[in-house]
Structure 1
Amino acid sequence: MEMPDYNAFVEAVAAAGGQPDRAYAALEKLVKDVVGVKLFTIMTSDTTDKLSERIYSNMADVYPVSGTKPYNETEWSEIALDRQETFVANTIEDIAKVFDDHELILSLGCESVINVPIIVDGEVIGTLNCLHERDYYTEERVRAADALKLPGAVCMLLHAQQKREENR
């Protein structure tokens, strides 16, 4: 695998103003370059209270940024949140086993998903959710997704900083 070009992402993070949205958009471009994506969302994860929050979506009309919502314990949470491994499903049938919105996912032309856990200080603080056509996320692309973990962590930490500033 070729090393991704992080320069645009680094410049977006360093830029004053428009944060963290500027960093989220740069992360989306990096995700497209590294593994490819049709639908891309960023979710926070609170594994203590079992809550998640969508903080970015490239299809906000269908998957809007929203408040927190509880998540159920499933094969997905066991893999992505408990074992802290990338969750992979390459068919809509496998997606349907863990995601209630599988019909909406299919209507968008997506039948594959990888959920890349973002881990800071031993805890999953969020996931990068990448969806594409059937059988898209090959072993090579899943391995390549590891290169997205650090930029994902930067975005999650920018989000946490924004929340702290809002609560002052």
Structure 2
Amino acid sequence: MKVSDMTQDDINAALAAFDTSIAEQTTPESSWTALQDLSRKLIGAKLFTIMTVDMKNEVARREYTSDAENYPVSGTKPIRYDRWFDIVHKQRQSFVANTISEIATVFPDYETIKSLGCGSVINIPVVIAGQLLGTVNCLDVEHHYDSQKIVLSQHLAIPAKLAFLAASR
């Protein structure tokens, strides 16, 4: 089934599968894997990563990746104050870019993104108790995150919060 052909029953089944997976998780990695599986079912993602933020120290850290070779879980990188920051951190809205040229305006690693066959991105902020904990990052081919997938991505908000909490316990 294509992501664009999802029915409400398909969405409910994907959410139920996530619920079962997260209930059985025993490691942070399994929480992220459950969220990755749900994201791929609902909106698609060739590349899936989780970033956490530490605003006190103004750094972000990749906590999980579906491609450890090209996007390893590693140290921290400084927070950049730009258009992406305004949308995700200040407005607490998802950032969407559907071409590699749009991506290049905010991500310095756009050439690596392009080399992986990705040309669109949706970064979903995860906010709990008024604090931005991080983002769920899904990347796919150019023009992938159309209006229908953006609407479907709203189904990831509560599961993402749950995955962040489960991974931190």
Same fold flag (TM > 0.5) = yes
Partner of residue 115 from structure 1, selected from 119, 123, 126: 123
Instruction: Give CA-to-partner distance per residue, 1:51-74, whole Å, 9 cap, x none.
Output: 111111000111011122212111
How far apart, CA to CA, are the structure 1 residues paired with 2:167 and 2:25?
Answer: 15
Runs of 4+ in 1 over 6 A off after TM superposition: none
Q: Specify the alignment match of 2:24 in structure 1.
A: 15
How far apart, CA to CA, are the structure 2 residues paired with 1:119 and 1:103?
Answer: 29
How far apart, CA to CA, are the structure 1 residues paired with 2:166 and 2:53?
Answer: 15
How far apart, CA to CA, are the structure 2 residues paired with 1:52 and 1:156?
Answer: 15
* Cα distance change, pair 16–74 in 1 and its aligned pair in 2 (3 A): closer
How far apart, CA to CA, are the structure 1 residues paired with 2:62 and 2:111?
Answer: 19
Q: Specify the alignment match of 2:103 in structure 1.
A: 95
Identity within the alignment, %: 38
* Cα distance change, pair 80–112 in 1 and its aligned pair in 2 (3 A): same
- Paired residues for 1:1-168 under 5 Å: 2=8, 3-4=11-12, 5-15=14-24, 17=26, 19-161=27-169
Counterpart contact for 2:31–2:167, Cα < 8 Å: no
Q: Which amino acid counterpart does residue 20 of structure 2 have in structure 1?
A: E
Instruction: Give CA-to-partner distance per residue, 1:65-121, whole Å, 9 cap, x none.
Output: 112221211111110111100001111011000000000000000010000001111
* Cα distance change, pair 62–83 in 1 and its aligned pair in 2 (3 A): same
Q: Point out where structure 1 has 5 or more consecutive residues left out of the alignment.
A: 162-168
Number of residue pairs aligned between Structure 1 and Structure 2: 160
How far apart, CA to CA, are the structure 1 residues paired with 2:135 and 2:60?
Answer: 9
Instruction: Give CA-to-partner distance per residue, 1:6-34, whole Å, 9 cap, x none.
Output: 222222222263x1211211111100110
Counterpart contact for 1:44–1:156, Cα < 8 Å: no
How far apart, CA to CA, are the structure 2 residues paired with 1:79 and 1:143?
Answer: 17
User: Counterpart of 1:10 in 2: which secondary structure?
Assistant: helix
Counterpart contact for 2:59–2:76, Cα < 8 Å: yes
Q: Which amino acid counterpart does residue 38 of structure 1 have in structure 2?
A: K
TM-score, length-normalised on structure 1?
Answer: 0.89
TM-score, length-normalised on structure 2?
Answer: 0.89
